[in-house]
Amino acid sequence: MIDENEDQPFASSAANAAANPLGRLLRLDERRDSLVATISEWVGRGIVEGRLRPGDDLNSVELARRFETSRTPVREALMLLEKEGLVEIPARRRPRVARTTLASIREVYAVRAALHALLFEQLAEDIDDTKLEELRNLVEAMGSAAAEDDLDRYFWRNVAFHERASELAGNPTLQRILDSLGMRVLQLRHRSMSAPHRMRQSIDDHRRLIRALEERDPALAGALMRSIVMGGLAALERDWPEAPDASPTTTNGTRPRG
């Protein structure tokens, strides 16, 4: 849930959106309205990090008050998130965080596993020492977050590692297909990472992945990456469905009455 006292939105704007995955996936660098970009990233980050959960209300009046604006940019921001599958906007009802099914999650993860395995096979085939050192440093940054048990910091460093690996693999078509899976994947990845012991398993797996890249072993790198993705799916399956008492909240983090 989102802290009622959290007055500062996620620090970003259309001007620097390309520097972060939320901004890039929402193509906020193409938008002239920086307020819409700020609202969409703030709500999107809340959904990805689990403070806004499936079924939670997204009250446009509360959001307009928080950002000291009219409801028009709020509606535009929520429509952007609707296109990414993070928000549902039913007719004549309040927008809410979208729900999903385990069957659809399994489909997405099967595709992700195959695509990421291919990406790391290609990366291992021709990675040079400079690229390898860059990825090694990103994994060690993940390790420092894991050592401090800082889930959100670990998660975003994990995202940064895979974003950079995708760029270094030099296959724009493959990266576009991965991007097409959208922000919903970030939400699912964060949720799986929050499972008990998952962060420790993840950092161990990524260090093994680095060793496979050091050995320039495409088959091993691909197999490890497939295992990492499917391990995330297994964590989601253990946590599905929501606990019976996980009732929706409002944008301010309070439980609805009635």
pLDDT of residue 136: 98
**Cα(204)–Cα(210) distance, rounded to whole angstroms?**
10
For tokens 């994947």, name the residue.
185
**Cα(122)–Cα(211) distance, rounded to whole angstroms?**
15
Cα torsion 103, 105, 107, 113: sign: negative
pLDDT in tens, the chain (258 residues): 334 444 443 333 322 333 477 777 777 766 666 889 899 999 999 999 999 999 999 999 999 999 999 999 999 999 999 998 999 999 888 999 999 999 999 999 999 999 999 999 999 999 999 999 999 999 999 999 999 999 999 999 999 999 999 999 999 999 999 988 888 899 999 999 999 999 999 999 999 999 999 999 999 999 999 999 999 999 999 988 754 444 444 454 444 433
pLDDT of residue 13: 31
pLDDT of residue 28: 72
pLDDT of residue 182: 80
**How far, rounded to the nearest angstrom, does the alpha carbon of residue 179 sit from its chain's CA centroid?**
11
Please name the residues in contact with 184: beta carbons below 8 A apart, sequence gap of 6 or more: 84, 85, 86, 98, 100, 108
pLDDT of residue 253: 46
Q: What is the CATH number of domain 17-97?
A: 1.10.10.10
pLDDT of residue 167: 93
Domains of the chain: which residue ranges? Answer: 17-97, 102-238
CATH of 102-238, one of 1.25.40.420, 1.20.120.530, 3.40.50.1000, 1.10.760.10: 1.20.120.530
